Amino acid sequence: MSRTKQKVFILFLVAAGVITTAAIVGKRTRSNPDGPTSASGPASPKKPRPVPTPKGLCVIVEKSAQRLTVYNDGEVVNTYRSASGTNKGDKIREGDRRTPEGEFYVCYKNKYSRFTLSLGLSYPNIEDAERGLRDGLITQAQHDAIVKANRQRKKPPWYTPLGGEIMIHGKGSKSDWTAGCVALDDEDIKELFYALPTGTPVQIHP
């Protein structure tokens, strides 16, 4: 993305009240590892959902189109090329190298990520917790902790058999190469990292 387009995008978010100028001043990145990510297991396909017109600030990821779009009150603010997990389908468990599908939110921001910058997503969500409990992948206590965190809009437990640490991060978008995250080009994640506050809804579609 050109510097001109980046400035226009940031000015739009400031004007819309999404971010303040203080949020984009003096930001720098350093390199430091994220946690481990995941590797295999059978898929349980979900029906594709139509992409809705979102209200307020929202991010929509379309895996098959390799596209991440930022909306504000139904208007497209910007679109980016994105990459997903190396395996197709919805995420089921730790290690399956699939990017989860469904409705999440930004629950964590890591400016020391070894993938340039990272926006942590609230996977597993309540639907994932219900599935995991039903299929015997997680305990009742793990299910309850995931549900509680989601209802409080906090970071859910990431270290269960369902997997976790699903991020929107940098390091390139040319092909689907991640262990389940959504990857952008470095210049794009540098833009989004400071533009998107925690709590921003993120929808991931097939």
Could you read off the pLDDT of 140-199 as tens digits, one per residue? Answer: 999 999 999 999 999 999 999 999 999 999 999 999 999 999 999 999 999 999 999 999
Between strands 201-205 and 57-62, the pairing is parallel
Structural domain including 110 reads 3-33+83-196
Predicted pLDDT of residue 13: 59
**159 in Cβ contact with 123 (< 8 Å):** no
Residue 68 in any domain: the answer is no
Q: Is there a domain that residue 44 lies in?
A: no
Please report whether residue 73 resides in a domain.
Answer: no
In a domain, 137, yes or no: yes
Does 52 fall in a domain? Answer: no
29 found inside a domain: yes
Is 201 domain-assigned? no
CB-count burial class (<10 Å; 0-12, 13-18, 19+) for 132: buried
Q: Under DSSP, is residue 80 helix (H, G, I), strand (E, B) or coil? A: strand
Residue type, 114: R
User: What's this model's pTM, rounded to 2 decimal places?
Assistant: 0.76
Residue in this structure with the two tokens 């991931």, named with its chain if needed? 204
Number of domains in the chain: 1
Rounded distance, CA 16 to CA 22, Å? Answer: 15
Report yes or no on 126 lying in a domain: yes
- Least confidently predicted of 12-26, 46-60, 141-155: 12-26
